[in-house]
Structure 1
């Protein structure tokens, strides 16, 4: 069984990003490089942390702006790669896994 990255929609994670107790897996997504339990631990000011969904959206936006580089291309389907990045066509399909770019 595989799981979906809530940041980029890649559906080949070995573990769920967060378990039933909402604890992070600390797995690093081989597509977008987001590490659950580390990259989502953003302190806005002392003792006040950004919501996970906000960190996911912020990281996703920055990853897309960088051109969707694939962190570990050897673990990502070659037919959906172009010059070390996710192809635009597949990115749209992948983001549908997390309800972004859903068909209208």
Structure 2
């Protein structure tokens, strides 16, 4: 699961048991583990939160053209229930 947007479609976990990054790019939010989380001035959680807030502010549009169309609204953003479900995956919405 993506630790930024809650999307469960990652091909592998963002980090292995030793903490090594997968370098996978989330097809939903576009976050790349091992690249976008390398700012040593902030914790990973702070980086995830900042990236998530920017992604939502920019319309929560899927990063990949191969993202499932049935999850996308006519305006190109994630459908609201889909976004809420993904945020629930992160325990951000009760």
Structure 2 length-normalised TM = 0.92
1:81 is the counterpart of 2:78: no
Equivalent in the alignment of 1:10: 7
Structure 2 gap segments, 5+ residues each: none
Structure 1 gap segments, 5+ residues each: 44-48
Q: Note the C-alpha offset of 1:99.
A: 1.0
Superimposed CA distance per residue, residues 12-56 of structure 1 (whole angstroms, 9 cap, x where no aligned partner): 00010011111111000000000001101114xxxxx31111100
Structure ID, larger Rg = 1
Runs of 4+ in 1 over 3 A off after TM superposition: none
- Aligned positions, number: 93
Give me the whole-angstrom Cα distance separating, in 2, the residues matched to 1:36 and 1:9.
Answer: 14
Structure 1 length-normalised TM = 0.83
Superimposed CA distance per residue, residues 69-94 of structure 1 (whole angstroms, 9 cap, x where no aligned partner): 111132x2222101322111210011
**Correspondence for 1:37 among 20, 31, 34:** 34
**RMSD between aligned residues:** 1.1
Give me the whole-angstrom Cα distance separating, in 2, the residues matched to 1:22 and 1:100.
Answer: 24
